[in-house]
Structure 1
Amino acid sequence: MGQALLRLAAEQPEQFAVVAAITRKSPPQRVVAGVPHFSASELSAAPAFDVAIDFSLPEGFDPILSLCAERGAALVSGTTGLSDAQQAALQQAATRIAVVWASNFSLGVAVLTELVERAASALQGWDCDIVESHHTQKKDAPSGTALTLGQAAGTAGGDVRYASLRAGDIVGEHTVQFTGLGERIELIHRATNRDIFARGALQAGQRLRGCAPGLYGMRDLLFAG
């Protein structure tokens, strides 16, 4: 994700200026393609920034959240597996800075989530099944995206069931099926390239800049205004 973010941002110099890249271990080169690289232990030395984009591990989440809160900078995070304490810290930081956290930064999934909530609200009493497929190396099941979709359906009154498939090199597929007597609706999203997640995170960062403090979701940014 880090490499995808750097590559896509470099393709849009009029929109994005990357001031630093942070890696878990000491970088083999201090400057790569004009971008200064720092290790996680050097995070405090990073130059000033408007928005940080974080796709790390739970152990790397606390330092970047603290730095953003300290500097008054916005944070876009796709780090999953956060503990209850980390989620509480995220909520607390959102009283001081603008934050967007999402399990999936695909713009298509944001729209799918909106459609699922609307469908569940309109189709009370219908069966709701979410089937997600990913590559064989993905360990968590159901996926974070499936759970987010299920939460949207559940908020609108849906009684959700999940099924997970792990096969080949599938990037990510999510099918939300609503079934009534004599009819069925399927809402499907298929990801064929992981760049969609980096592209969505960059767009989220662009829209988050200048926002008032608060905890935002992708749908908040996508459908605002």
Structure 2
Amino acid sequence: MTRESSSATRVLVSGATGRMGRRVIEQAAARDDVRVVAGVSRELSGEIDGLPVEPANEFEVVLREYDPEVLVDFSVPEASQEFVADCAEANVACVVGTTGFAEDGEAVLREASERVSVLLASNFSRGIQALLRAVESAVSDLPGYDVEVTESHHRHKRDAPSGTANAILDRIESAGEFGGRVHGREGDALRESSEIGVHARRAGGIRGEHEILLANDHEELRLTHRAGSRAVFADGALDAAVWLAGRTPGWYDFSEVVAE
């Protein structure tokens, strides 16, 4: 199959039958700058609203048949690693929103970035990008304050803390001097002055909420982001796909997309 002459970026969606995959497909249908050519799923094949959904175990064949420019991946770490490796062979750029990678799993993605452009993000919200900058500034301006991070997601989310919470924690640690992360508390658990408290909650259909609390004996500062709809993440991933198409091989960050 040859690419059609169109300015719309041709996208393949893996994890197409999941919550985020379906939302990416829905959001793409309302845009002129991107077109989803097919979906891939480990669970079923057929169609979603007229869009072909192909089995994941035929991924290499799917790449040849639909000839996408960019993969948008919201699957699971094990599958994502295989998809990205195959995309590197086929010269297809990759936008990866899957979270929960082990170190060796992310290493597979970084290896692929030597051959194609790869953008891995735990969160595609522009608001979260602003929050990350604000957190770094607040921690730097408030040395010695206690810091606690709480995140809440739907009951089906597998990884904890969330990828976004880990990104926030990385920013906190880069901006101050801390002795480590403490996940939850139970029993005799006196707080150490240099620790960062981390709390993960899972309930109902919460789309995503992150709060950073900074406090001393006299005041507290709370920075909070709440996602009202998965559409914000889907549109961000599609923005990244359009931005990434045609880029030279390398490892990219969503902050670069937001900056332009």
Fold conserved (TM > 0.5)? yes
Structure 1 segment 209-220 matched on structure 2, within 5 A: 209-220=245-256
Residue 150 of structure 1: how far off its partner (Å): 0.7
Other-structure match for 1:197: 233
Give the length in aligned residue pairs. 221
Q: Deviations over 1:133-170 (max 9, x none)?
A: 22344454322221111111111125322123334332
Q: Deviations over 1:77-121 (max 9, x none)?
A: 111222322211111111222111112222211221122122222
Change (3 A) 1:44 1:140: closer
Residue identity in the other structure for 1:201: A
From 128, 141, 164, the counterpart of 1:109:
128
Unaligned runs of 5+ in 1: none
Are positions 1:175 and 2:211 aligned together?
yes
Are positions 1:45 and 2:61 aligned together?
yes
Looking at structure 2, the residues matched to 26 and 164 of structure 1 have their Cα atoms a distance apart, in angstroms, of: 31
Looking at structure 1, the residues matched to 84 and 101 of structure 2 have their Cα atoms a distance apart, in angstroms, of: 12
Give the structure-1-normalised TM-score.
0.88
From 13, 18, 27, the counterpart of 1:8:
27
Change (3 A) 1:172 1:26: closer
Quick one: percent identity of the two aligned structures?
A: 38
Residue 34 of structure 1: how far off its partner (Å): 4.8
Other-structure match for 1:79: 98
Change (3 A) 1:181 1:193: same
Change (3 A) 1:24 1:109: same
**Secondary structure in 2 matching 1:37:** strand
Give the structure-2-normalised TM-score.
0.77
Are positions 1:153 and 2:172 aligned together?
yes
- Equivalent residues of 2:153, 2:203 under 8 A apart: yes
Q: Deviations over 1:159-198 (max 9, x none)?
A: 3221233343322211112224523221110112122221
Residue 54 of structure 1: how far off its partner (Å): 0.4
- Equivalent residues of 1:58, 1:82 under 8 A apart: yes
- Equivalent residues of 1:134, 1:173 under 8 A apart: yes
Unaligned runs of 5+ in 2: 1-19, 179-195
**Secondary structure in 2 matching 1:105:** coil
Looking at structure 2, the residues matched to 73 and 60 of structure 1 have their Cα atoms a distance apart, in angstroms, of: 16
Change (3 A) 1:166 1:86: closer
Other-structure match for 2:36: 18
From 110, 113, 135, the counterpart of 1:91:
110
Change (3 A) 1:8 1:158: farther
Other-structure match for 2:10: none
Other-structure match for 1:222: 258
More displaced 10-residue stretch of structure 1: 119-128 or 184-193: 119-128
- Equivalent residues of 2:81, 2:109 under 8 A apart: no
Change (3 A) 1:146 1:94: same
RMSD: 2.0
Residue identity in the other structure for 1:216: Y
Other-structure match for 2:220: 184
Residue identity in the other structure for 1:66: A
